[in-house]
Amino acid sequence: MPNPDKPRDRPTVPEVLPLARVVYARHCGGCCAHVVIDDGNVEQVFANHALDRAREQMHQDCMNLCEALVRMTPTQRKKIYQSYEKRP
């Protein structure tokens, strides 16, 4: 069932997994998104911090991933964290 309350700019888990895979292909610990998708800190503050870090580091692949992560719900981020498909 589609959720009518879902904001249209919220990415889905299947959309974000390939972005995570790109980062993991370069960095086995998830690079700037490490705290969220490798350690499982799914609260908003950690996603925001990961995006700040990606921008500081100017890692385009991390920015693509983290910009999606900050728009997701904690439950969605937890699914990314728990998914084996995030790894290449």
Count interface residues toward Zn ion (CB under 5 A).
5
Q: Residue 59 interacts with Zn ion (CB under 5 A)?
A: yes
Using rule CB under 5 A, residue 77 touches Zn ion:
no
User: What is the closest distance, in whole angstroms, from the C-beta atom of residue 32 to Zn ion in the complex?
Assistant: 3
- Helix (H), strand (E), coil (C) string for the chain: CCCCCCCCCCCCHHHHHHHHHHHHHHCCCCHHHHHHHHCCCCCHHHHHHHHHHHHHHCCHHHHHHHHHHCCCCHHHHHHHHHCHHHCC
Q: What is the nearest approach in angstroms of Zn ion to the Cβ of residue 58?
A: 9
Binding positions for Zn ion, rule: CB under 5 A: 31-32, 57, 59, 62
